[in-house]
Each structure stands twice: as C-alpha cells, then as structure tokens.
Amino acid sequence: MLFRSPRTGLQGALDPLGALQAERIVYVSCSPATLATDLKQLVEVHGYHLEAAGIADMFAHTSHVESVAVLRRGEPAELEKLRLAQAEGPPEKST
C-alpha cells in the first residue's frame, strides 16, 4: 500500500489503515515530524516494523524534502526468517 500524507499527517486515518493489515506500506510525507508520529503508531499499535527510510530532495535550493518510509507487517525476527526463506528458494523436490 502506498500513501502520501498531508503535512498534518494521517491522524484519524491510521486506525482504518492499520485494520487493512497490508503486508507492506510505503509512506511518503513532506513533514518528518508528522511522519515520525504516524510511524510510532503504526509500529506500536498496528504491528508494523520499519524496514527502510530515507529522504528525497525534490525541491532543489529549498529546505523542503520528502521523507519516505517502508514498513512491513510483523516482528523483525519473523521478517528475517521470511527473507532467509525467500533467499533459499522453494524446497527441492525429491526424485
């Protein structure tokens, strides 16, 4: 799921979004402060884990940046097991 929040953040929309239980969320925000507040709720209340974060300087010669966060549903240890399983590929068939 991809969403771009207003400068004020997602506020009342976080509970309905969390209820959707999307496997992955990509959250783009022009306000790092509201992004942090919203991420805290997605992690602590809705069971997401911050997988990656960064900024995009889309407005050259200004102080404005876009913040991007990628969240995945589940605990970090569960996610690591999933990554390892995907890296190993499907189990071999016995002949």
Active-site residue set: 30
The enclosing H or E element of 54 equals strand 48-56
Structure tokens at 22: 């999307």
Helices and strands in the chain, H and E counts: 3, 4
Q: How many CB atoms lie within 10 A of CB 25?
A: 21
One-letter identity of residue 35 = L
* Gap between the Cα atoms of 43 and 25, Å rounded: 11
